[in-house]
Amino acid sequence: MPFTSGLVHNNLPAPASNVVVNARNIGITTAVVVIEIYVVSPITNTLSILHINGYELPGKSSNTNVFFIGGNIAYEVQLSMTGLLSEVVFTAFGVDVHGSSVEGQQILANDWQPITALSMAP
């Protein structure tokens, strides 16, 4: 099932330079995870894809991915997981150049909004 963070404002006094996406498969079988990162450039003011990452996440395991988003005024995280008897819980955090969380840029498990499909889905 695919989810989105919605647009996250990143034009703050101390904007995020990276977004960290955590995935934890609490199920017993392998899940296929796809993560898409979109950004809004201050030059074009349009939303465009910056990163796409897909991988297998074994049951009872976790994974962390870090994506560079620096210099953009907003970003969106879209993600999806598929797998029989798999249940993946996601969180995401905007972090500054020192790796510290940026206030207001925490996307916890309950914050994800369901969507019909990932934007780049075939």
Cα–Cα distance for residue pair 90/62, rounded to 1 Å:
10
Whether residue 122 lies inside any domain: the answer is no
Do 81 and 26 meet the contact criterion of CB atoms below 8 Å apart? no
Whether residue 120 lies inside any domain: the answer is no
**Percent of the chain scored above 70 by pLDDT?**
98
Tell me what the mean pLDDT of segment 8-32 comes to: 94
Cα–Cα distance for residue pair 54/59, rounded to 1 Å:
16
Whether residue 20 lies inside any domain: the answer is yes
What is the structure's pLDDT at 12?
Answer: 77
* Statement: residue 121 has pLDDT above 80: no
Whether residue 118 lies inside any domain: the answer is no
Whether residue 54 lies inside any domain: the answer is yes
User: Among positive and negative, which fits the CA dihedral 111, 7, 74, 103?
Assistant: negative
What is the model's pTM? 0.94
**Burial degree of 23 (CB within 10 A; 0-12, 13-18, 19+):** buried
Cα–Cα distance for residue pair 107/4, rounded to 1 Å:
10
| DSSP collapsed to 3 states, 39-51 | EECCCCCCEEEEE
Tell me what the mean pLDDT of segment 93-119 comes to: 95
Domain interval for residue 69? 2-113
Can you give the CATH number for the domain in which 13 is found?
A: 2.60.120
Q: What is the pLDDT of residues 68-88, one digit of tens each?
A: 999 999 999 999 999 988 999
The CA angle 10-97-56, to the nearest 5 degrees, is: 80
What is the structure's pLDDT at 112?
Answer: 98
Tell me what the mean pLDDT of segment 98-121 comes to: 93
Q: Structural domain tally of the chain?
A: 1
